[in-house]
Structure 1
Amino acid sequence: MRTYTLETALLNYSHPRIRQLIRAKQWDRLAPQQQLLDMYNYVRDTVLFGYNRADDIPASEVLQDGYGQCNTKGVLFMALLRAVGVPCRMHGFTIDKKLQKGAMKGWYYRLSPNEIIHSWVEVHVEGRWLNMEGFILDLPYLTKLQQTFSECEGSFCGYGVATNDFQNPPVYWDGNDTYVQKEGIVRDLGVYDSPDAFFARHPQNLSRIRKVVYQQVVRHLMNRNVRRIREG
């Protein structure tokens, strides 16, 4: 299990920003179950849903941004867990871009690859691995979506959601697996010891030009769309 608690370039939990947060929240003094619950809720709701400059950015940068998506929130969550000795790893996938429709619109939706790199965090708790994906969307954003599409009570795909139970997705943790984008998965890319290893093997399928356009233009448009929904 030691492999799953190691610090890496992306899981830079000795960074002062990470250490200060852990001290301020006193997570290092809590019982393991409470540690996991508090960190999970923090990453889900205090770190808002949004799009960073890239997937392969360190946890300290995600924390500084104050927002993230599946991959970057996962990096931060893993760094916090490993900082207090909780073993965790990353499970990689691709998801259908339809899941992003609504956050992505118009020309930049049409230009995006059909499959997008996705991940969730697997956490070792009481002898078993739990799947943690439900932290991606902050509750204010998810709640506003549910209110906007209140007539939908079953499956929903779009705006960062892919679930079979839109009004009651399993995003609250109580010893269970959590999911919010699982139903958009296309391919399983396997389990990795660290996000560093996963992103090195499976970068997003963007050309150099499209990567620059994403960083400089597209992600800001997507974040604006997400903010408008949240602030409704």
Structure 2
Amino acid sequence: MHSQHLSATPILNFQHESIQELIFARSWQSLDTYNKIGAAYGFVKDEVLFGYNRSDDISASEVLADGYGQCNTKGNLLMALLRALDIPCRFHGFTIDQQLQKGAIPGYVFWLAPKYIIHSWVEVYYEGKWLNLEGFILDNTYLTAIQQRFSDVKQSFCGYGIATPCLAQPETEWRGSDTYIQKEGIHDDFGLYDSPDDFYAQHGTNLSGLKRWLYQNLIRHLINRNVQRLRAASGSEPTRSHLKDGCKS
């Protein structure tokens, strides 16, 4: 029934040695379904740090080697791990408003971001239904730093890679139900795909030409440096100017 949601692809290359070694070292295959999902989810969420890779359509093994990723690339790795554990999963494609990235992407390079940025989450088949997994994008250290930076904001928040109705308690932990961290910033819904490969073959990635070259070779490194600074500066005073901008237009 779910063969197309269990197969390997060039992006979901779960047969790669590094992915198989990870699963073996963690003994994930011996877990029940709930804890298999939780183990893969927790690893991608917190042990693969929030950051920006060279492209959205890189393989899961490259994301694992990088040790960091964002919505699309961390999703590639999560899907590969789930399929390696015989858990059916599929890709749901969207765009999000660029305002969601303010703060994470420094203002001096924000011109590079398209108005609506390609976004995705993973849908996993569990106990007879499909669940939406999006809350894995931000590692807990980064999310906690932003929560502390804006400790006076308890409810709706948009920026720094977050778009949630409740900054104080976003639905990011695996408990057998949907998880979200950027859902409130969604603009376009491209629907369901069996794999990220199918989606990118149809829609492409966020950047092309000179902008893509600049992003890959210079700008993403500046963005990652900013993300690292934010992650480390959990005690810094908040700056609230970005909150004037909503996530949707």
Q: What's the TM-score, normalizing by structure 1?
A: 0.98
The answer to which of 106-115 and 158-167 deviates more is: 106-115
Aligned-partner residue type, residue 216 of structure 2? Q
Q: In 1, are the aligned partners of 2:13 and 2:60 still within 8 Å (CA)?
A: yes
Listed one character per residue, the Cα deviations across residues 151-185 of structure 1 (whole Å, up to 9, x for unaligned) are 11111111100001011000011111000000000
Aligned-pair distance for 1:84? 1.3
Q: In 1, are the aligned partners of 2:60 and 2:73 still within 8 Å (CA)?
A: yes
Partners of 1:108 and 1:197 in 2: CA distance? 30
Aligned-partner residue type, residue 52 of structure 1? N
Secondary structure of the residue that 2:171 maps to in structure 1? Answer: coil
Aligned-pair distance for 1:203? 1.9
Partners of 2:76 and 2:16 in 1: CA distance? 14
Gaps of 5+ in 1: none
Counterpart of 2:5 in structure 1 is 4
Partners of 1:162 and 1:98 in 2: CA distance? 9
Gaps of 5+ in 2: 234-249
Q: In 2, are the aligned partners of 1:117 and 1:203 still within 8 Å (CA)?
A: no
Secondary structure of the residue that 2:179 maps to in structure 1? Answer: coil
Listed one character per residue, the Cα deviations across residues 27-59 of structure 1 (whole Å, up to 9, x for unaligned) are 111111111111111100000000000000000
Q: In 1, are the aligned partners of 2:57 and 2:205 still within 8 Å (CA)?
A: no
Q: In 2, are the aligned partners of 1:157 and 1:163 still within 8 Å (CA)?
A: yes
Counterpart of 1:135 in structure 2 is 136
Partners of 1:156 and 1:137 in 2: CA distance? 15
Give me the identity figure in percent: 56
Superposed CA RMSD: 0.8
1:154-193 matches, cutoff 5 A: 154-193=155-194
Counterpart of 1:201 in structure 2 is 202
Q: Count how many residue pairs are aligned between Structure 1 and Structure 2.
A: 232
Partners of 1:38 and 1:7 in 2: CA distance? 20
Secondary structure of the residue that 2:153 maps to in structure 1? Answer: coil
Aligned-partner residue type, residue 9 of structure 2? T
Secondary structure of the residue that 2:198 maps to in structure 1? Answer: helix
Matched, 1:221 2:222: yes
Q: In 2, are the aligned partners of 1:59 and 1:72 still within 8 Å (CA)?
A: yes
Q: In 1, are the aligned partners of 2:91 and 2:123 still within 8 Å (CA)?
A: yes
Partners of 1:105 and 1:47 in 2: CA distance? 22
Aligned-partner residue type, residue 108 of structure 1? V
Aligned-partner residue type, residue 18 of structure 2? R
Q: What's the TM-score, normalizing by structure 2?
A: 0.92
Aligned-pair distance for 1:191? 0.4
Listed one character per residue, the Cα deviations across residues 125-174 of structure 1 (whole Å, up to 9, x for unaligned) are 01100000000000000001000000111111111000010110000111
The answer to which of 68-77 and 108-117 deviates more is: 108-117
Aligned-partner residue type, residue 65 of structure 2? Q
